[in-house]
Amino acid sequence: MSARPLLIELFTEELPPKALKRLGDAFSAGIADGLRTRGLAGADGAVRGFCTPRRLAVRIDDVVHQAPDRSVELKGPSTKVALDAEGRPTQALLKWAEKQGATVDQLTRASDGKQECFYFRSTQRGETLAGAIDAVLTQALAKLPIPKLMEYQLADGRTSVSFVRPAHRLVVLHGADVVPAQVLGLQSDRITQGHRFQGAGELTLPDAAAYVHVLEREGRVLPDFDTRRARIEALLREQARGLDASLGDESAVAPLLDEVCALVEWPAVYVGRFEQEFLQVPQECLILTMRTNQKYFPLFDAQGRLLPSFLIVSNMEVADPRFIVDGNQRVVRPRLADARFFLEQDKKTPLADRVPRLESVVYHAKLGTQGQRVERVRAIARDIAHALSVDGWTCDRAAQLAKADLLTGMVGEFPELQGVMGTYYARHDGEPEAVALAITEHYQPRFAGDALPATPAGTVVALADKLETLAGLFGIGQQPTGDKDPFALRRHAVGVLRMLIEKQLELPLDRLVAIAFGAFSGHVPDAADALIAFFHDRLQGLLRERGATAGEVDAVISQAPTRLWLVPAQVDAVRAFSALPEAASLAAANKRIGNILRKSGAGAAADVDPALFADAAERALFERIEALAPRVGTAMQARDFTGALTVLAGARDAVDQFFDAVMVMADDARVRGNRLALLARLHAMMNQVADLSKLSNA
């Protein structure tokens, strides 16, 4: 039978919105993989997944009724085991042939590349779609990334099944034919359901190809997630333009779009409004409650200021949306009023007066209270401020107040506003602006790609806060393992690295780590070496993300650099050096020199003595080193790492001639030691920027 499209739809109660897209993608991929594995669908057949709040579906083109027959070859025992000394079949061969349903005469002999073995070749009949569909469905459902299973009872009142949400219908259509299937206690048919309120109740699908058309025209459902999302975005932007407004920060719009797309099947967008007086509340509070709690899209003017209006994405398209808009406005007003209440109450107690209460808040059972943590962060911040010549009082005051807003009503209600509210309250309390800004900035960067602190004090306190977290948790053995990183230590480490590199902060890593552990006054074990290694590991990933190759990164990081603000320039220099025609030869020579020096132990002389040269090639290499060393030193002093490596390229001919003509491990101990000293000097000069041997494929 010719190939036809296959449609599978599982109709359910409302699925978790934040997981819907992942569930939909996994469902369609699981079904497609199951069919392809059995030969029922071609590798190139189009696969289109669908997901709405109440359904997971997939349509796969070119699915056949029965998979083609296939040849199967089974390997049996070797002839050494299968035949006795007279060449007769042993029991091992007879039993294996019987297991395959064959006689010895039906077996063939062939080499497997190592020895001669017996084989049984047969033709296996292809699976039918009807025979395989239950297993395909079961396996696909078992692989779904379900956040939490629900156990529910079927209509018979006795049987219970588990799924992410109760499932009510199953459609399995191959072309126009229903394929008998059963899963989650459901029998397949061709009936689905439209929009809960605005579409036809039951919809009969004539064939698999008609799925989208029937749902859209009769069911008032847009089953394709991306199509639905694009419709919502277009409607939102159209409404915003009509109000001479914008949706604000695009990084916040995108995830909210994904979430509301998972809440509606036939989207419509309406405008809601709230009283102007609520704009007296910091706009971050209002934005958060609208986006997080109500799934509304706040609107902003050209200067980025919040407007007293918002957009509602509704699952109902009606001619007169007054009741929908009024209902949503009635819901949002109490939330905005709560924010205003928390703000007014919080302002009655200065941040400084809240600091002593941090002593009663446990930070970690092994690391003490938040109050103790604040004192450690203050100590680290003071040391870093001194090293960077930043105003110490500002940094210390900001570190002292940075966690105080955790005890406010606003942050208790909206934890995402920690730091932000601290800045508003610090300004209200009359704290210096630099202190107020540092309270927000000390959390930055909060996530990958987030902005770094903009002020000197914010940078200092951000470094101190992250270093205290890293040192404390490494000290008590809470390092990340595998994919588990419950304290987000990888993110903290990358934040420190980004600040050191992007702000060109001349703070050696080993000194920073020592300062961090010093703040604990011996109350946790010093795990400086492990923490530095962790930083280097994160740095490798950071550099790879920015386009460097593994070899280029390894050449620099393998030397365990502490001046991290120089590392990107060193990696760039290694990349430029790698493109030179001399690079491969010098990298190989560097690797060879390193091996010789390691094997020789302490055999090198203290210094090179030209009087001991016995070959013109070693004198030529010495003279080349003497000529290049000052130029390399000048480039290194100017931090011109590319220039330093380019100068080194001029040593290639002398190095090649040395290894062609000179036996390093001479019988004469003095000559041997002198040659090793010459190579040691060359090795040190070559590896000032990076370990060039890491670039060698030899």
pLDDT for residue 603: 67
The per-residue pLDDT for range 583-626, each reduced to its tens digit, is 888 888 888 888 888 888 776 778 899 999 988 998 999 999 99
Find out whether 122 and 72 touch, Cβ atoms under 8 Å. Answer: yes
At 627, the pLDDT band (50, 70, 90 cuts) reads very high
pLDDT tens digits, 273-302: 999 999 999 999 999 999 998 999 999 999
CA separation for the pair 296, 275 (Å, rounded):
16
Q: Is the pLDDT of residue 70 over 90?
A: no
User: What's residue 42's pLDDT?
Assistant: 84
- The token pair at 382 is 């003071």
262 pLDDT band, cuts 50/70/90, is very high
Q: Is the pLDDT of residue 209 over 80?
A: yes
Sorted by where each begins, the domain ranges of the chain are 4-67+128-217, 70-124, 225-346, 366-546, 569-695
Q: What pLDDT score was predicted for residue 321? A: 95
Whether residue 447 is predicted with pLDDT greater than 90 in this model: the reply is no
DSSP secondary structure of 148-187: S-EEEE-TTSS-EEEESS-EEEEEEEETTEEPP-EETTEE
pTM over 0.85: no
Which CATH number fits the domain 569-695, given the four candidates 1.10.3470, 2.40.128, 1.10.1200, 1.10.730? 1.10.730
**Mean pLDDT score, 228-233:** 97
Q: What is the mean pLDDT of residues 180-192?
A: 95
* H/E stretch holding 401: helix 392-401
d(CA 516, CA 380): 6
- Which tops the pLDDT comparison, 605 or 78? 78
Q: What is the largest CA-CA distance in the chain?
A: 103
686, pLDDT greater than 80: yes
Reply yes or no on whether the pLDDT at 11 is more than 60: yes
Say whether pLDDT at 654 is over 70.
Answer: yes
Dist. CA 234–CA 268, nearest whole Å: 11
- Going by pLDDT thresholds of 50, 70 and 90, the confidence category of residue 345 is very high
Domain 366-546 has CATH 1.10.3210: yes
Assess whether pLDDT exceeds 70 at residue 1.
Answer: no
Residues 9-35, mean pLDDT to the nearest whole number: 95
Q: Are strands 186-189 and 160-163 parallel, antiparallel or unpaired?
A: unpaired
Alpha carbons 538 and 552: distance in angstroms, whole number: 15
pLDDT greater than 60 at residue 517: yes
Which CATH code for domain 4-67+128-217? 3.30.70
pLDDT at 427 over 80: yes
Considering 406-415, 481-490, 577-586, the range whose residues carry the highest mean pLDDT is 406-415
- How does residue 484 score in pLDDT terms, banded at 50, 70 and 90? confident
Give me the chain's average pLDDT, please. 93
- The reported pLDDT for the residue numbered 698 is 53
pLDDT band for position 169 (50/70/90)?
very high
Proportion of the chain above pLDDT 90, given as a percent: 77
Per-residue pLDDT at 583:
87
- pLDDT greater at residue 431 or residue 614: 431
Instruction: Provide mean pLDDT across the span 364-373.
Output: 96
For residue 41, the SS3 value is strand
Dist CA 373 CA 262 (whole Å): 41
Task: Enumerate the H helices of 402-476 as residue ranges.
Answer: 409-413, 420-428, 433-441, 456-475
**Percentage of residues of the chain with pLDDT beyond 70:** 99
| Cα first-last separation, the chain | 57
| CB-CB contact of 306 with 283 (8 Å) | yes
